[in-house]
Structure 1
Amino acid sequence: MSEPKLPSLRTVIVEDEPIAMLQMKSMLQGCPTIEIVGEARNGKQALDVIQDVQPDLVFLDIQMPVLTGFEVLKALQGDTLPLIVFTTAYEEYAVQAFDLHAVDYLLKPFSEERLNKALARVMERWQLAEEDQKGTLLQAVEFILNKGEGPSVSAGAEPKLAIKESGEVLLIPQTEIDWVDAAGDYMCIHSKGQTHIQRCTMKQLLEKLDSRRFCRIHRSTVVNVDRITKVIPHTKGESFLMLDCGEKLKVSRNCREAIQQFLAS
């Protein structure tokens, strides 16, 4: 299996010293995860460039003409700020830099090894932000699907389950789900011959599923009752369900009454 391709972060360099600017560009140009999309020589230029190109990452010098790096960051407007790595020759600014939630603080002159450590922190922060963003998107999709009212089904509407998969949100009609089984902290959702993985608890999943269609038949198994074609009695009060997809599921003794009520309704 090939490793996932790392993103290329659109990067702006803000540096008032020409030699330091050339050194920074030289170090970054060989990095496959960095795409330099702008540069600035002072704080005013930095604001204009950052607002114009909307970068993912900014290497921001602190001591500059017109505006300092701190003043630039405070002046930036918008819901999503770029990741910031401060650069400076003055060690005393470190605490203030991290108070402003900088990813890292590079003390000049810094080595390529130290820069690579900063880039590793940048990628880690970027990936965390991406996960948060996906989680927010998934919550928004689920809210829209359920209209903020849980898994109840509106007239004429077919409920769907939102699943994060390969960086996207997959919407699966609940009528197409055959059964679900738990594997630790993950739910395996079986639909039309495919298995989709969702990280959540069984309780959380049940809250999203249509309670008029899905029944828990085991502590780790939920079935779509519309998929049941046959009930096969077994010993000690247990039984098996045959589904129209050919799957055979065990019904625990504790869940026997629940499935009987479903099938009788």
Structure 2
Amino acid sequence: MKAIIIDDEKRARHLLSNLITQNCASITSIQEAQDLASGVDLIKKTKPNLVFLDIEMPNQSGLDILEYFPNQIDFKIIFVTAYNQYAVEAFKLSAVDYLLKPVDIIELKAAVTKAEKAIKSNNLNDQLNKLRDSLKQLSIDKIALEIPKGIMFASHSDILYFEADGMYTNVQLISGKHKTICKPLKHFVEQLENNVMFFKCHRSYLINIKYVDELVKDDGNYLLMNNKKKIPISKSKHDHFLEIIKETFM
């Protein structure tokens, strides 16, 4: 395989190049670029199989590569970051591969092996499209909750679950507080339908899968949330839930 490393730090490029040379025999050619623009030019010129792309670069984030390839991508991307919480959250949402600096050899090998499989199966566009959607979701990470005193803006990550209560909805927050909102559950299901972290597991519940501790196959299937709340999961939703978990966390 041919690979390109895009990173504004020369030392970081060389370190990663050496790790790849010493541990990834399937990669036979490595080229380097010091910024996104020159990296994109190199990609178009050399047609690599694999691109290691740093996120934190001056002028342009590595995430901006999606703007250069809006329709189709024919190479695998492994993002590299010194830890950007916003980006890592997006990667987890979309199951896109990433490496944290300093790069661990075992994680590097695993990422390259996974990339080889994706390249052979020609499954390169799906994850990038999911990443694009995830980044959009995270850029608007607020929801408006109409409470008696006005409007409360809550971050998606602050919400454990929504529970139907007739024409009202109880919103449980990670702080332990809950708010009763004068809108039906359907309102929130429609509002969050494109956010992969929220899942309607039952006619009465919309959960944040980030806070599911366990799927319990006992006493009827239920989800154990991290506040110890047991939430039922419908039989018709069970397989779909497992698919989402595999795509997001495995």
- Tell me which interval the TM-score lies in, with the shorter structure as reference length: 0.3 to 0.5
Q: Which has the larger radius of gyration?
A: 1
Q: Which has the higher contact order (CA 8 A, sep 6+)?
A: 2
TM-score (norm 1): 0.42
